[in-house]
DNA sequence: GTGCCTGTTACCTC
DNA sequence: AGAGGTAACAGGCA
């Protein structure tokens, strides 16, 4: 669920809330497998008394820059951070907890336990595998077009693959393809220059809008996205096709269809996004 | 209760 | 290189 706009919103809120400059007094781990590369004991030992120097985003990863290491958190489907003023009993889906020196606690909850924490001293090889940042100048039209060159693949699974463009997930891919009027199963090699251009612009548009709307919250259960302070996003109201099957396309009024592409639920307007 | 669905990704085989 | 299947896991929903 958390894609680039949701992760960006979380990172921005963490900064606003004053996490930068604070000290992590100690960590507590309730579910070992939330830690990707360390045993809980070693993780807690390394985390104790670390200062948070900076917080940033790379693709869907939250990056905490600490004293002598970096902490990467991937929220996957249901991971979330919740900042609270005082310590309290662990919650049902709480997997990790950070006790801050000022008495606040940062809880990490993850209903489905797919999220992962990586504590790394050298993150270069880890970061190398991540694709272009779509909201930076790195994501030029030329760079995007270059990624597709010589590849034979359906456009939707290509856009979901984080090693090419980082940060897109099922929601924003469906939205971008609709905006560019491209069917999700079209092969990369079949896309015209005009279509590629429209897609490049659409990717930037849907992500920027998502960030401006502080992310997409589709429901009210704990499986949904909420910010660090518990606020839902508002971008669900701006979605054109995602989870809108049966409803009229905002462009042509044809009913939106739900199909399966690369084993993923996929939303298309059969009239605007023709396969040819 | 049963069975199917879900916003992500890694890993396997073909 | 890429497609397809499976797995990790919990809960919502018909």
Range 71-90, chain A: CB under 7 Å to any strand B atom = 74, 76-77
| A188-194 average pLDDT score | 95
Specify the pLDDT at position A276. 72
Task: Encode pLDDT of A27-72 as tens digits.
Answer: 999 999 999 999 999 999 999 999 999 999 999 999 999 999 999 9
Query: Which of the nucleotides lies closest to A267 (Cα–C1')?
Result: B7
- As a whole number, the mean pLDDT across chain A is 95
Measured from the CB, is A29 under 7 Å from any atom of strand B?
Answer: no
Q: How confident is the model at residue A15 (pLDDT cuts 50, 70, 90)?
A: very high
* Residues of A classed as catalytic: 2-3, 60, 264
| Listed residue (A2, A78, A13, A19) closest to A231, CA to CA | A13
Q: Are A134 and A159 in contact (CB under 8 A)?
A: no
Strand C contact set, beta carbon < 7 A? A 33, 92-93, 111-114, 151-154, 157, 219, 221, 223, 262-263
Specify the pLDDT at position A223. 87
Instruction: State the Cα–Cα distance between residues A160 and A165, nearest whole angstrom.
Output: 8
pTM of the full structure: 0.96
Question: Would you say residue A219 has pLDDT above 90?
Answer: no
């Amino acid at each position: 669920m958390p894609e680039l706009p949701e992760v960006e919103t979380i990172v921005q809120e963490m900064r606003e809330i004053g996490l930068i400059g604070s000290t992590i007094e100690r960590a507590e781990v309730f579910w070992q497998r939330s830690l990707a590369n360390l045993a809980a004991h070693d993780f807690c030992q390394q985390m104790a008394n670390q200062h948070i120097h900076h917080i940033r985003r790379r693709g869907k990863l939250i990056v905490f820059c600490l004293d002598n290491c970096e902490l990467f958190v991937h929220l996957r489907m249901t991971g979330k951070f919740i900042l609270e003023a005082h310590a309290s009993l662990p919650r049902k889906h709480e997997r990790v907890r950070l006790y801050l020196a000022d008495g606040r606690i940062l809880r990490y909850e993850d209903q489905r336990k797919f999220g992962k924490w990586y504590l790394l001293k050298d993150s270069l090889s880890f970061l190398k595998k991540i694709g272009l940042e779509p909201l930076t100048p790195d994501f030029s039209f030329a760079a995007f077009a270059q990624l597709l060159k010589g590849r034979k693949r359906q456009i939707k699974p290509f856009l979901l693959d984080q090693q090419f463009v980082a940060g897109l997930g099922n929601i924003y891919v469906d939205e971008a393809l609709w905006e560019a009027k491209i069917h999700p199963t079209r092969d990369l090699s079949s896309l015209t220059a005009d279509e590629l251009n429209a897609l490049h612009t659409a990717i930037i548009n849907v992500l920027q809008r998502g960030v401006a709307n502080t992310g997409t919250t589709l429901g009210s259960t704990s499986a949904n996205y909420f910010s660090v302070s518990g606020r839902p996003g508002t971008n669900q109201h701006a979605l054109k096709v995602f989870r809108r099957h049966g409803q009229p396309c905002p462009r042509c009024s044809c009913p939106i269809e739900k199909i399966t592409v690369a084993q993923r639920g996929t939303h298309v307007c059969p009239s605007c996004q023709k396969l040819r």
